[in-house]
Structure 1
Amino acid sequence: MGKIRVRERVEEIAGFCDVEVPLVVVGGKWKLVILKLLLDGPLRFGELRRGMPGVTPRMLTRQLRELEEDGILDRAVFAEVPPRTEYSLTPLGESLKVVVRELAAWGSWYRDRQSSSPL
C-alpha cells in the first residue's frame, strides 16, 4: 500500500505565491524549533527532545522525517552499540540560518513589545 502524504507538495503551490513554499517546508509547531536547535551543530534525538519540552517522541520523529524528506536535515546512523543517530543541517538547511535567526529575533522583540504594552 502507498504512503499517504498529508501535507501539500511544494510543486502544488501556486507559482504566484512563493511565500507559501517555506511555510510548507518549515511550517508546523516544531520544525523551526528543530532548526534553531541544530544551528549550533548536530544533535541526537534525545538532545533534541530535551530542548523541546512538550513534544512527543512520535511528533518529533514525524517532523524530523519530513525535514529529512525535504532535504533540510541529514540523519546519520552510526553502527555502535547502542546505535547512535545524529541529526544535522544539510547545505540547504544551512541556507535557512539567517531566516531562523531573524524569526527568533522578531519573536523576542514581539514578546517584549506585548509584555510592555498596557492592557
Structure 2
Amino acid sequence: MRAGDRCRDAELVPDERGRTARPEADCPVEVALAAVAGRWTTLVLRELMHGPAAYGDLRERLPEISSKVLAERLQALAERELVSRERLAGFPVRTRYRLTPAGEALRPLLVELYRTGERLTGRR
C-alpha cells in the first residue's frame, strides 16, 4: 500500500505534498513546524504579534531569555522571512523588528497550538 492510499482525509492531506512516507522539507506541515521550532521562538513571535519592537523592548518583555538566544531567534526568523529588521536613525543605533505578512500568518497556528496544548494537559 502506498502512503497516499492511507491518506484519504482531504482536509488533512489536500495535495500530493502531504502524501509522503517520510518527512519532506517542502511538506506544508514541516514548513509550519520549522517556522515555530526552537526554544523561545513562539514567545518571540507572540511579542511581535503585538506590533514592532526594538531589541531592548523584547529583552524587557522576555527577561529570562539570554541576549545570545534572542539574537539567534531573531536571526533565524529573519532568515525564514518571518521577521524584518529596520535600523533606526540616531545614536546609539537601534533596530526594530516586525513580523512580515508570512510571520503574521503564523497567528492562527500559534492560537491553535495553545488550544491544543490546553486540551492535551486537561486544562480546557
Is the pair's TM-score, using the shorter chain for normalization, greater than 0.5? Answer: yes
Sequence identity percentage: 34
1:1-119 equivalent positions in 2, closer than 5 A: 14=24, 17-108=27-118, 110=120, 113=122
Unaligned runs of 5+ in 2: 1-22
Whose relative contact order is higher, 1 or 2, with alpha carbons under 8 Å and at least 6 apart? 1
Aligned length: 102
User: Which structure has the larger Rg?
Assistant: 2
Q: CA RMSD in A?
A: 2.3
Unaligned runs of 5+ in 1: 1-12
Q: Assess if the C-alpha contact under 8 Å between 2:25 and 2:31 holds in 1.
A: no
Q: Assess if the C-alpha contact under 8 Å between 2:85 and 2:96 holds in 1.
A: yes
Q: What TM-score results when the alignment is normalised by the length of structure 2?
A: 0.70
Q: Label 1:34 to 1:15 Cα distance change in 2 as closer, same or farther (>3 A).
A: closer
Q: What TM-score results when the alignment is normalised by the length of structure 1?
A: 0.73
